[in-house]
Amino acid sequence: MTENMLAIAGLGTPELVVIAIVIFLLFGATRLPQLAKALGQSKRAFKDGLDEGERDGRKDLEK
């Protein structure tokens, strides 16, 4: 599935390598782990919010 998504966006391996190098140069090696951690926490919070909204929607439908 990931391959299909990348193919649709037109991103191949060389493009991803260039993007990774640019990100590395912009943020440096010390900030990258912090950024990855923050991104993971944001993704988890977003997913938890979606799950909570879905549960609330089910409760409303049951009533």
pLDDT score, position 2: 56
Count of structural domains within the chain: 1
Q: Residue 1 above 80 pLDDT?
A: no
pLDDT per residue as tens digits for the range 14-63: 888 898 899 889 888 888 889 889 999 999 999 999 999 888 888 777 77
* Domain boundaries, position 57: 2-62
* HSE, side-chain direction, 13 A CA sphere, residue 2: 2
